[in-house]
Amino acid sequence: MREGCEVMEAQDGQDAKEKLESFSAELILTDMEMPRADGKDVLAAGLKKHIPVVILTGQGSVEVAVQMMRLGAANFLTKPFTPATLRALLEDTFGRTKASPPAVSAAQPLPIMAAEPHDTVIGEVAPFRRVLDVIQTLADTEATVMLTGESGTGKEVMARVIHNASNRRSGPFVAVNCGAIPEPLLESELFGHAKGAFTGATHSRAGRFQLADGGTILLDEIGDMPLAFQVKLLRVLQERQYEVLGEGLPRRTDVRVIVATHRDLKAMVSAGQFREDLYYRLNVIDIHLPPLRERKADIPLLVEHFMQTANERHNRAITGLQPAVLQAFDAFPWPGNIRQLANVIEKMVVLKRSGELELSDVPLEITANSPPPKSQPTELPADGLDLRQAVAEYEDSLIGQALDRTGGNRNAAAQLLGLNRTTLVEKLRRRKDLA
């Protein structure tokens, strides 16, 4: 109360979750180890109500901090701590979560890269753990980082992990999609402009570098940045200065720069499509995010996470999934990577509503080229069997399942069975004649 805060106490994690149902909190400060429900449970309850959560941990390791930040914690505090430390941390957290926007612009910003709610840093396979190890090592430095990898691998999420684990975590994180901003407006968007700087500039406007001051800026899709503008970015990186359009005076910038791209920048340099000096200035530390097809062992963990997220977001009650679903997922190449997997799971959860996800719930584009589910080999009865009849019955069963799954669509059913449509139609005709 002496700090002007009204405090509601909870005996344990479950008590906190119950009180959140009726108490409108502006911030949650929670321990990690508690009876009935732990800090992760309280964090999930807070995120559901869009309340910033600060985690108390006695472990004090970067790994624990990064894990909590990945899951959405606004900040963390290592025990033991002093009242002054707690006060400063709360001020930082409130400042980041409740900061008012700069009053320099009345115009709507151009599209920038939003946080990817579907992406996650969950994973246990060796290539992915190596990425996290590198991030833990470099997070508290000022080194420029280049994140590379295919679309949908979670580059922006990783940039946020780096920011949240760094000494700049109390400052802003600003993400800009360089490919989404038209070339004539890119300088104004990144560096800002003064009133009257050009026709239509009726208000001063802060650029992204100004908004990110004291924090981190992510320049996503840096490979799409026009050559003519690259030299201006190079100056910012070399001299830590930029000019606001219409001012003509240099401004200092205090930001950490992270860039991301799905392109091969080295090949673009050879082709004259990207400045060589800028490439080497950006490529201080290169972190490559592996595609999902190289992380197949992580799919069950990711699926579980996305199912829980979709259940909460859409008020569904999916309890799990059958092994055949994971088999189909394992066989699919996932060109859209984690983002595609998240979208597929969300669609399945929304349409299924409750119960277990089955192979019939999986979208056709996933199952079309998948092998049939593995089954136990059929044992030959002691007194033998009619092989032709057994094969015919098995074939009839598979054809029936394919037609059921595709709603009677013969083209789609034939694709599932690896048959030509005419072959399937002939088999159906024979079934009818024998019936």
**Within-domain flag for 171:** yes
Do 303 and 245 lie in one domain? The reply is no
Angle at which helices 62-70 and 155-164 cross, to 10°: 130
User: CATH number, domain at 341?
Assistant: 1.10.8.60
In this structure, the answer to whether residues 137 and 148 fall within a common structural domain is: yes
Tokens of 260: 């991301």
Give the chain's domain count: 4
Distance CA 431, CA 426 (A): 9
Interatomic CA distance for residues 319 and 337, integer angstroms: 24
CATH number at residue 43: 3.40.50.2300
Classify residue 74: in a domain, yes or no: yes
Residues 302 and 284 in one domain: no
Rounded to whole angstroms, how far apart are CA atoms 246 and 244?
6
Q: What is the DSSP letter of 245?
A: B
Contact, 193 vs 166, CB < 8 A? Answer: no
Q: Is residue 309 part of a domain?
A: yes
Is residue 149 located within the same domain as residue 221? Answer: yes
Please check whether residue 104 lies inside any domain of the structure: no
Same domain? For 409 and 360 the reply is: no
CB atoms within 10 A of CB 347: 14
Q: Which one of 79, 98, 117 terminates a domain?
A: 98
**Residue 395 belongs to a domain with what CATH number?**
1.10.10.60
**Residue 4 has which token pair?**
């002007």
Same domain (yes/no): 285, 361: no
Type of residue numbered 418: G
Domain termination residue (choose one: 312, 335, 367):
367
Tell me: do 324 and 185 sit in the same domain: no
Asked if residues 300 and 116 have their Cβ atoms less than 8 Å apart, the reply is no
Residues 281, 224 within the same domain: yes
Output the six-digit token pair for 338: 């984690």
- 108 located within any domain: no
Radius of gyration of the chain (CA): 27
Residue 162's nearest CA partner among 135, 137, 141, 142 is 135
Range of the domain at 227: 126-290
Residue by residue, DSSP assigns 58-70 as: SS--HHHHHHHHH
> Do residues 221 and 261 lie in contact, with contact meaning Cβ atoms separated by under 8 Å?
yes
Q: Could you tell me the two tokens for 208?
A: 């992204």
Going residue by residue through the chain, which has 435 residues, state the pLDDT in tens, using 9 for 90 and above.
Answer: 456 677 888 888 888 888 888 777 888 888 888 888 888 888 888 887 778 888 777 644 445 555 666 566 776 666 666 676 677 666 655 654 443 333 333 233 322 223 333 445 788 888 888 888 888 888 888 889 999 999 999 999 899 989 988 889 899 999 999 988 888 888 888 998 888 877 777 788 888 999 999 999 999 999 999 999 999 999 899 888 998 888 878 899 999 999 999 999 999 999 999 999 999 999 888 999 999 999 998 999 899 989 998 999 999 999 999 988 998 999 899 999 999 999 999 999 999 999 999 998 999 888 876 555 555 566 777 777 777 777 788 888 888 888 877 778 888 788 878 888 888 888 888 777 665
Tally the residues of the chain: 435
Contact 256, 144 (CB under 8 A): yes
**Residues 300 and 307 sit within 8 Å (Cβ to Cβ):** no
Note whether 82 and 185 are same-domain residues: no
Q: Could you write out the DSSP letters of every residue in 190-251?
A: HHEE-TTSSTT--S-EE-HHHHTTTSEEEEETGGGS-HHHHHHHHHHHHHSEEE-BTT-SEE
